[in-house]
Structure 1
Amino acid sequence: MSSLQNALEHYQARIGTKIGISSWVTVDQQMIDAFADTTRDNQWIHTDPKRAASETPFGGTIAHGFLTLSLASGFAQECFQPMPGQVMGINYGLNKLRFLSPVKVGSRLRGQFTLQGISVRSDTELLRETLLTIQIEGAERPALVAEWLGISVFRD
């Protein structure tokens, strides 16, 4: 049996189950500022702590939604171990994405992954659909939820 077939069977048995939960990551002002510099999104709600404290309901700065989303790759690497014969994973995009709660500076985030589907894309690729939830420590509502698509590439 091929590596791809073994992986397919492994994932098919786990559809609907939680694949993993990452460790917590603290979103501090330095991380927010670095993201703002990189993306050239310097809106004051992210980069001006004094103004954000006095002019927003958040009590301080908040992380960019796309900063929160960008942490997903690291969370996934922690939760998804390569399958035997897998040579790489490729981000294929998102079907749905919703930013549900602002991430206040100093918050701790983690990713939770639930496998929603798996299919054969080609004789060397599997397409994995995962429900991604980025949780905020101590908060009822997550920062975001997304249906994330990833391709696993195999070579026997």
Structure 2
Amino acid sequence: MSSQPQVSPLNIGIDEASRAKIADGLSRLLADTYTLYLKTHNFHWNVTGPMFQTLHLMFETQYTELALAVDLVAERIRALGYPAPGTYSQYAQLSSIPETEGVPKAKEMISLLVAGQEAIVRTARSIFPLVEEVNDEPTADLLTQRMQVHEKTAWMLRSLLEE
């Protein structure tokens, strides 16, 4: 998806073409983050089994963190001068995280969330070369923070799958 034209001229030391590419990458990150938020919230509502209480609370902590993250990513897109995507159809088009049909068992939920966390790390990492090339430190900082959160969360979820 190509970002829409910027709303007003910006002079922040990053050329327009680079800002557009970064905004496109961040739009994919936003879509992944929102998709994982929705999936995690769904699993929070629908988890069952012997680990119900643990997973119910863990998923709540995770979807709350993701809800805050979507705002940070969207606001960075806006700071670069572009509109942030905000519809389900845009997210479905941009996200690398597939929807989950039905209600999986708890262990499959955990596996799906690990995959989603890792997908977000890959999306964030894919934006880094351009961000570094144009010295976009605020975006680099955001990406670094997001990768740290998602790598740690994936590790914690993965540990639940070990026998």
Fold conserved (TM > 0.5)?
Answer: no
Q: Structure 2-normalised TM-score?
A: 0.30
Greater helix share, structure number: 2
Greater strand share, structure number: 1
Structure number, greater radius of gyration: 1
Q: Structure 1-normalised TM-score?
A: 0.31
